[in-house]
Structure 1
Amino acid sequence: MNDIILQKENHLATITINRTKALNALNTQVLFQLEEVLQDLKKDDNVFVVIVTGAGEKAFVAGADITEMKEFSVFEGRNFSALGNRIFREIENLEKPVIAAINGFALGGGCEFALACDIRIASSKAKFGQPEVGLGITPGFGGTQRLARIVGIGAAKELLYTGKMIDAAEAYRIGLVNKVVEPDKLMETAKTLANGIAENAPIAVKLCKAAVNRGMQMDIDTAVMYEADIFSQCFSTQDQKEGMTAFIERRHKNFINK
Structure 2
Amino acid sequence: MSDAELTVTVTGPVATVVIRNPARRNAMTAAMWRQLPVLLDGLEADPAVRALVLTGADGTFCAGADLGDLDELLEAGDGSIAVAAEERLARFGKPTVAAIQGACVGGGCQLAVACDLRLAAEDARFGVPPARLGLVYPAPTTHRLARLVGPSAAKHLLFTGELVDAARALRIGLVDELLPADGLAARVDALTATVAERSRLTVAAAKEIIDGRADDERVAWWHGQVRASGEAREGVAAANERRPPRFGWTPPASR
Superposition TM-score, scaled by structure 1 size: 0.88
Among residues 208, 211, 215, which one is paired with 2:209 in the alignment? 211
Partner of 1:137: 135
Q: Matched residues in 2 for 1:231 and 1:76: separation?
A: 43
1:191-230 Cα deviation digits (max 9, x unpaired): 1100010111112211111111126xx9xxx77x865553
Gaps of 5+ in 2: 251-255
Q: Is 1:240 the counterpart of 2:241 in the alignment?
A: no
Partner of 1:89: 87
Partner of 1:29: 31
Q: Is 1:256 the counterpart of 2:248 in the alignment?
A: yes
Among residues 107, 114, 119, which one is paired with 2:112 in the alignment? 114
State the Cα distance separating 1:233 from its structure 2 match: 2.8
Tell me the amino acid that sits aligned with residue 184 of structure 1. Answer: D
| 8 Å CA contact 1:109, 1:139 repeated in 2 | no
Partner of 1:77: 75
1:126-157 Cα deviation digits (max 9, x unpaired): 00011111111122384311111101001111
Report how many aligned residue pairs link the two structures: 248
**2-11 vs 135-144, which moves further:** 135-144
Partner of 2:98: 100
RMSD (CA atoms) = 2.3
Q: Matched residues in 2 for 1:231 and 1:80: separation?
A: 35
1:100-136 Cα deviation digits (max 9, x unpaired): 0011111111101100000000110000011111111
State the Cα distance separating 1:79 from its structure 2 match: 5.9
Partner of 1:65: 66
Q: Matched residues in 1 for 2:82 and 2:178: separation?
A: 27
When residues 101 and 36 of structure 1 are mapped into structure 2, their CA distance, relative to the original with a 3 A threshold, is same
When residues 32 and 60 of structure 1 are mapped into structure 2, their CA distance, relative to the original with a 3 A threshold, is same
Q: Matched residues in 2 for 1:16 and 1:113: separation?
A: 12
**SS of the residue 2:248 aligns to:** coil
Q: Matched residues in 2 for 1:76 and 1:162: separation?
A: 21
**SS of the residue 2:211 aligns to:** helix
Q: Matched residues in 1 for 2:87 and 2:37: separation?
A: 11
Partner of 1:196: 194
Percent identical residues? 32
Gaps of 5+ in 1: none
Partner of 2:183: 185
**SS of the residue 2:193 aligns to:** helix
| 8 Å CA contact 1:42, 1:95 repeated in 2 | yes
* 4+ residue segments displaced more than 4 Å: 225-229
Q: Matched residues in 2 for 1:231 and 1:179: separation?
A: 31
**SS of the residue 1:96 aligns to:** coil
| 8 Å CA contact 2:89, 2:114 repeated in 1 | yes
Tell me the amino acid that sits aligned with residue 183 of structure 1. Answer: A
Q: Matched residues in 1 for 2:102 and 2:148: separation?
A: 20
**SS of the residue 2:23 aligns to:** helix
State the Cα distance separating 1:240 from its structure 2 match: 2.5
When residues 213 and 156 of structure 1 are mapped into structure 2, their CA distance, relative to the original with a 3 A threshold, is same
**SS of the residue 2:212 aligns to:** helix
Partner of 2:167: 169
Among residues 46, 50, 57, which one is paired with 1:48 in the alignment? 50
| 8 Å CA contact 1:62, 1:106 repeated in 2 | yes
Partner of 1:124: 122
Superposition TM-score, scaled by structure 2 size: 0.89
State the Cα distance separating 1:257 from its structure 2 match: 5.4
Q: Matched residues in 2 for 1:157 and 1:103: separation?
A: 24
